[in-house]
Amino acid sequence: MLDVSIRLGVLNLLLDLKERLKLAVLYITHDIASARYFADETFVMYGGQIVEGGDSESVTQRPAHPYTQLLIESAPDPERSVLALDAPLEEVAQISTGCQFAARCPKVQERCWTQAPPRTEVDSYGHWAACWLYAEAAA
């Protein structure tokens, strides 16, 4: 983690090199705001599994997976109130054989605990999410 001004300078340098030299860059971060600024495509991982992906604009402006939604809502924003998670901490320790995010998901369903959700297209631009909420809508 770098100081904000230094981080911006490094990101601008990488972006310039990427565009000027036609480089491919794999940018791994916990800062989803910088991913939107820097990346053409964004993939969100939770528990070692990719749970959402697509072009950076779609993933960050219209997050589909509940984890991505919480990740974006957790980014500092002076115009938004603080998000409170509903799940008690002891539930987070539960292990799911289905969706890895089930213990912390505010939209969890019974089958989330036992069945891994399929990867489902969210829109026609290649944006997808691995979540039962979208699998039901597509069916």
Percentage of the chain surpassing pLDDT 90? 37
Q: Looking at the domain assignment, is residue 116 inside a domain?
A: yes
* Confidence at 78, pLDDT banded by 50, 70, 90: low
Q: Looking at the domain assignment, is residue 111 inside a domain?
A: yes
Largest pairwise CA distance in the chain = 50
Q: Please tell me the predicted confidence (pLDDT) of residue 135.
A: 83
Number of independent structural domains in the chain: 1
Q: Looking at the domain assignment, is residue 63 inside a domain?
A: yes
The tens digit of pLDDT for each residue in 82-91 reads 444 444 444 4
Structural domain span for residue 93: 40-78+86-138
Question: Residue 94 pLDDT more than 60?
Answer: no
Instruction: Please say whether the beta carbons of 78 and 55 come within 8 A.
Output: no
Taking the C-alpha atoms of residue 56 and residue 35, their distance in angstroms, rounded to an integer, is 7
Taking the C-alpha atoms of residue 59 and residue 69, their distance in angstroms, rounded to an integer, is 9
Q: Looking at the domain assignment, is residue 98 inside a domain?
A: yes
Q: Looking at the domain assignment, is residue 18 inside a domain?
A: no
Taking the C-alpha atoms of residue 85 and residue 92, their distance in angstroms, rounded to an integer, is 11
DSSP strand pairing (49-55 vs 128-130): antiparallel
Q: Looking at the domain assignment, is residue 16 inside a domain?
A: no
Q: Looking at the domain assignment, is residue 26 inside a domain?
A: no
Question: Residue 65 pLDDT more than 90?
Answer: yes
Percentage of the chain surpassing pLDDT 70? 83
Helical segments of the chain, H only: 4-21, 32-38, 56-61, 66-73, 89-92, 132-138
Taking the C-alpha atoms of residue 78 and residue 47, their distance in angstroms, rounded to an integer, is 29
Q: Looking at the domain assignment, is residue 91 inside a domain?
A: yes
Taking the C-alpha atoms of residue 33 and residue 107, their distance in angstroms, rounded to an integer, is 24
